[in-house]
Structure 1
């Protein structure tokens, strides 16, 4: 393969983007960028497509993405910068993204110190009396059929009692396209109140806000959600204004 091989050029530019993306993330297990073009198009500032795939990425809120896949259409870039080994978009480009979150990783984030601080000292009423609630644990089960099941243990400070409840909800796409909302289908347990269930579900939907998965220069808008057995699959439209580079 010659020194001027277009494959080597594509590989070099792909590596620049890989390193740039990795530098913006808290944790990266694997990241791969496949930039496809040819010398003629590159001179004109055109890239046929870019495919970004990653595994074990953490952007915010300690929430790990099992996998992420982003595929662009054609991309317009600054040809001079490309010849110098850098990528600069001359106009935003659209892409499609697919993110997979596992039940295990969602629960790890849901029980992180950051979220747990929001579960303590909750003021509400039970049986007409004001009480202070500390949620000890919240566990998400993804049984499939587009359902979320939350099992939680909580304590009441005034009586020092510990109680449990379980709630089932169906996820829906929120109108802003950034996050999901949850329709409560059923709930049962001791000392159960709508506010208690709502508090946990609010933190879960905040955790799954797509803005937590934005890589600098890339924004996501949710258009399809699949709650499958053991995992949550997010399909989103992405607009890329800038590709991270070192």
Structure 2
């Protein structure tokens, strides 16, 4: 029974890593770090594995992640750094990552102050006349079948009129694994509004889904797979880890 309990060295490492990761986030509902090693290996700077499990992690741009799981093995650390309350890697390592975003998470990001500012004062042409539009409300949906869908209310500043913009599309991961683009875009009844506005919304959708939003200090992610289900998006990725954030 006692063999299953983490050693004092592991407990200290877990706490340091948890505090460091939490310092990179705006909010955390739950965050657990499980580092496997033993006293002899730790003195030599060897760690068997690091497992990170998080729920309700809020990152930059008010982007919330429902679930984040990360696993890395054969990690080399500077044993002296632990005494200073840090985990310093002596060489980079690779990690596998799984992240789940819900429909509510992405709607939260779209309607955050950060993104709303990006969708204000868009200059477009309506019937050959230049106008300025502001996005009032964005409703992002994950209807299933590998698609995303978006409805937005926009106001023409010059007239105060409210118009609706809608489209659905299929997200695709770029060859580099760093960005997401929207393909097979199907437009709703966008009335006489210029496609420039719809394009701005498409670009903002791609930006929210880009993995650069999920990068933490010392970690760079590359998407392997993007799975769209009804109500949620599941990302499978690899992480190049140069440092584990320290508080």
Aligned to 2:202: 201
Deviation per CA, 1:119-176: give whole Å up to 9, x if none.
2222222233333222222211001121010111122233433221320100011244
* 1:171–1:182 contact (8 Å) kept in structure 2: yes
**How far has the Cα of 1:94 moved from its partner?**
0.3
**How far has the Cα of 1:82 moved from its partner?**
4.0
Aligned to 1:165: 165
Residue range with higher mean Cα deviation, 95-104 or 110-119 = 110-119
Structure 2 residue matching 1:244: 3-state secondary structure: coil
Structure 1 residue matching 2:226: 3-state secondary structure: strand
**Separation in structure 2 between the aligned mates of residue 6 and residue 232 of structure 1, nearest angstrom:** 34
* 1:122–1:133 contact (8 Å) kept in structure 2: yes
Distance 1:166 1:94, change over 3 A: same
Q: Does 1:222 align with 2:223?
A: yes
**How far has the Cα of 1:83 moved from its partner?**
6.3
**How far has the Cα of 1:17 moved from its partner?**
0.8
Deviation per CA, 1:190-213: give whole Å up to 9, x if none.
224322211011112222222221
**How far has the Cα of 1:214 moved from its partner?**
1.3
Aligned to 2:185: 185
Aligned to 1:128: 128
**Separation in structure 2 between the aligned mates of residue 85 and residue 199 of structure 1, nearest angstrom:** 45
* 1:146–1:228 contact (8 Å) kept in structure 2: yes
RMSD over aligned Cα, in angstroms? 2.1
Distance 1:122 1:61, change over 3 A: same
* 1:6–1:39 contact (8 Å) kept in structure 2: no
Q: Does 1:13 align with 2:22?
A: no
Aligned to 1:56: 56
Please list every run of 5 or more consecutive structure 1 residues that lacks an aligned counterpart in the other structure.
none
Distance 1:47 1:118, change over 3 A: same
**Separation in structure 1 between the aligned mates of residue 73 and residue 146 of structure 2, nearest angstrom:** 30
TM-score by length of 2: 0.90
**Separation in structure 1 between the aligned mates of residue 84 and residue 135 of structure 2, nearest angstrom:** 55
Q: Does 1:106 align with 2:112?
A: no
Structure 1 residue matching 2:13: 3-state secondary structure: helix
Aligned length: 244
